[in-house]
Amino acid sequence: MRLNARKKEYIAKAMIWGAAMSVMIVLVAIILYILIRGLPVLSFSFLTQNPYNMGRSGGIASTIVGTIYITVVALLIAVPFGIGTAFYLAEYTRDSIITRIIRFSAESLAGIPSIIYGLFGYIFFVIYLGMGWSILAGGLTLAFMILPTIIRTSEEAIRAVPQIYRESSFSLGATKWQTIIKTVFPSAIQGIVNGVILSVGRCIAETAAVIFTAGSVLSMPTSIFDSTRTMAVHFFILASEGVSMQNAFGTAALLIILIFIINVGVNSLVNRFISKNQKR
Amino acid sequence: MENTQKKVKIKTKSVNLFYGTSHALGDINADIYENSITAVIGPSGCGKSTFLRLFNRMNDLIPGVTINGQVLLNYENVYAKDAYVVELRKKVGMVFQKPNIFPMSIRENIIIGPRHHGIKKKADLDIIVERSLKQAALWDEVKDNLNKPGLGLSAGEQQRLCIARALAIEPEVILFDESCSALDPESTMRIEDLMTELAKKYTIIIVTHNMEQAARVSHMSAFFMIDDEKIGRLVEYRPTGDMFSSPKDKRTEDYITGRYG
Ligand SMILES: Nc1ncnc2c1ncn2[C@@H]1O[C@H](COP(=O)(O)OP(=O)(O)OP(=O)(O)O)[C@@H](O)[C@H]1O
Ligand SMILES: [Mg+2]
């Protein structure tokens, strides 16, 4: 009987380990494949030159700028509204009809395929509001897409702040607002930032919603009212229309590196900010 | 007894408190005297913390709490409609059971309160930091490390930092809810000495499960217990010496002699 239990334990362990290893191997294989094919393409001129001949030659400078533009617009809108909503849900209301409606909407929004956002953005921003294919329309659409993520991760981070911090703050005569700004927010910042990084990744990697709303113009954008082509869209068009597999992989490699840098970079920044005080 | 000559700092008048429908405090009438230490004792769940948290309206934070009756601080009802709870908490500081300093530097932990109340100048804040740490008997240990994280201190030091943090807002009353229960005997001693010292200037109310501690430091003792209907009642409230030498109520006697089951 005991041996049996031990055997089971052993098999379970092996299966779990096997599952984890398989996932890791597949992930590493994908990333390696793209890097091996893409890294040789990356060069200074590839990063700094605009694409020529539909992307067959030249670099991808304008798509890098377009990606940054759109992501920044999306964040400028989604971060303040998302964090604000999260604080409202976590700190200012008890469970009510309103909070349930907000949560239900956010959860439903989170489950919608991005191409639906694209369609909505096209109909509403591009056509109805007359923005045309533009960075603004694309950024607004992405903002709607990432809002649920930011709300949910921020709310979780805020709720994870120990109640005793709030009580201590109140016991010192702090107002609710002071408690939130000076005590709750600093303790929740790590979780909030994690949600934002996740969203940045999704903005950078998004294609469907962006093609519909920001278009795919290859020239360097000069304002948020210009149409643009993001790196992900560029990759999609290069690869799917067989324009240049080489440049497609170069773009993909840069995307992966970029997302990696953002993850590591922002996390270490936040850690430094926190550890200044929290380290024991 | 000398303490009964003292001025009444806080007065509760027929206070009843409900958590939802459960009746936690029943008809509490008590006078808390200025510049004295009042110990609140009783079995677990009898309402000691609830009683203590009446005075800085901390119970207000819990959804579904109803409070009726009056709590007078300096003869003013702190539960009056126009009373401002933030002003009250500036006058009534609190030290919790576990040291609960913020993940910030020692200095920032102390100035966070004064800052909330509009003190911005560095020179003023420096004075407050030094004064509060000295009052909390922590200055000598930390004066060279003010910018180090508070969480790096030992538990006893952290608890004294909590006291310093409470003192920084210059309260009139300080509440201690089992503030020594997580500390070693030596740190407990230091905090007891500190309470005695602070009682010269402040009004102090402590909740404690430690009968020796109540007997050692307090001037007045309040014994709480739940009655047959599970309502928290103030059974006996007298000068500590009298209560411990000749308890009037059988239940008090059983509790302080350790016969309580
Ligand atoms: N937040 C709350 N919600 C509902 N009931 C509560 C709450 N806090 C306390 N109570 C109840 O009120 C009664 C008194 O609780 P209180 O915490 O004041 O007791 P206590 O004497 O401080 O106990 P202890 O010695 O264990 O700290 C208990 O029956 C408790 O279950
Ligand atoms: Mg208690």
Q: Which of B17, B18, B19, B211 to mutate to test the pocket of ligand 1 (most atoms within 8 A of CB)?
A: B19
Å from CA of B49 to ligand 1 middle: 7
Whether A97 and A63 share a structural domain: yes
Q: Indicate the pairing of strand A51-52 with strand A57-58.
A: antiparallel
Rounded to two decimals, the ipTM of the complex is 0.91
Whether A62 and A102 share a structural domain: yes
Q: How many domains does chain A have?
A: 2
Q: Both tokens of residue B237?
A: 């409230």
Whether B59 lines ligand 1, by a CB cut-off of 6 Å, is no
Whether B21 lines ligand 1, by a CB cut-off of 6 Å, is no
Whether A12 and A146 share a structural domain: no
- Residues A99-147 have pLDDT tens digits of 889 888 888 888 899 999 999 999 999 999 999 999 999 999 999 999 9
Per the domain annotation, does B177 fall within a domain?
yes
Q: Both tokens of residue B72?
A: 């007078």
Per the domain annotation, does B78 fall within a domain?
yes
Q: Which of A94, A166, A280 sits opposite B151 (nearest CB)?
A: A280
Q: Which domain holds residue B144?
A: 2-256
Whether A154 and A49 share a structural domain: yes
Phi/psi region, residue B79 (left: phi>0; alpha: psi -120 to 50; beta: rest), is alpha
Residue B178 Cα: closest atom of ligand 1? 27
Q: What is the dihedral of CA A181, B66, B9, B196, to 10 degrees?
A: -70
Whether A27 and A158 share a structural domain: no
Whether A87 and A19 share a structural domain: no
Question: Any idea which ligand is nearest the CA of B47?
Answer: 1
Chain centroid to Cα A133, Å, comes to 22
Whether A204 and A74 share a structural domain: yes
Cα(A24)–Cα(B102) distance, rounded to whole angstroms? Answer: 39
- Residues A201-242 have pLDDT tens digits of 999 999 999 999 998 888 898 988 999 999 999 999 999 988
Sorted by sequence, the CB contacts under 8 Å of residue B30 that are 6+ apart come out as B11, B12, B222, B234, B237
Per the domain annotation, does B9 fall within a domain?
yes
Helix and strand element counts for chain A (H, E): 12, 2
Question: Any idea which ligand is nearest the CA of B53?
Answer: 1
Cα(A130)–Cα(A109) distance, rounded to whole angstroms? Answer: 24
- Residues B131-184 have pLDDT tens digits of 999 988 899 999 999 999 988 899 889 999 999 999 999 999 999 999 988 888
Sorted by sequence, the CB contacts under 8 Å of residue B88 that are 6+ apart come out as B56, B57, B73, B78
Whether A130 and A191 share a structural domain: yes
Whether A121 and A68 share a structural domain: yes
Cα(B97)–Cα(B240) distance, rounded to whole angstroms? Answer: 22
Q: How many domains does chain B have?
A: 1
Cα(A103)–Cα(A95) distance, rounded to whole angstroms? Answer: 10
Whether A125 and A9 share a structural domain: no
Whether A123 and A97 share a structural domain: yes
Q: Which domain holds residue A28?
A: 2-41
Cα(B137)–Cα(A2) distance, rounded to whole angstroms? Answer: 59
Query: Is the Cβ pair A277, B149 closer than 8 Å?
Result: yes
A171 reaches B (C-beta below 8 A) = yes
Per the domain annotation, does B261 fall within a domain?
no
Its pTM stands at 0.85
Whether B43 lines ligand 1, by a CB cut-off of 6 Å, is no
DSSP letter at B104 equals: S
Contacts of B58 in chain A (CB under 8 A): 167, 170-171
CATH of the domain at B189: 3.40.50.300
Per the domain annotation, does B69 fall within a domain?
yes
Half-sphere exposure of A53 (CA within 13 A, CB side): 6
Quick check: helix, strand or coil at residue B246?
A: coil
Q: Both tokens of residue B24?
A: 């936690």
- Residues B171-217 have pLDDT tens digits of 999 999 999 888 888 888 988 999 999 999 999 999 999 998 999 99
Whether A36 and A67 share a structural domain: no
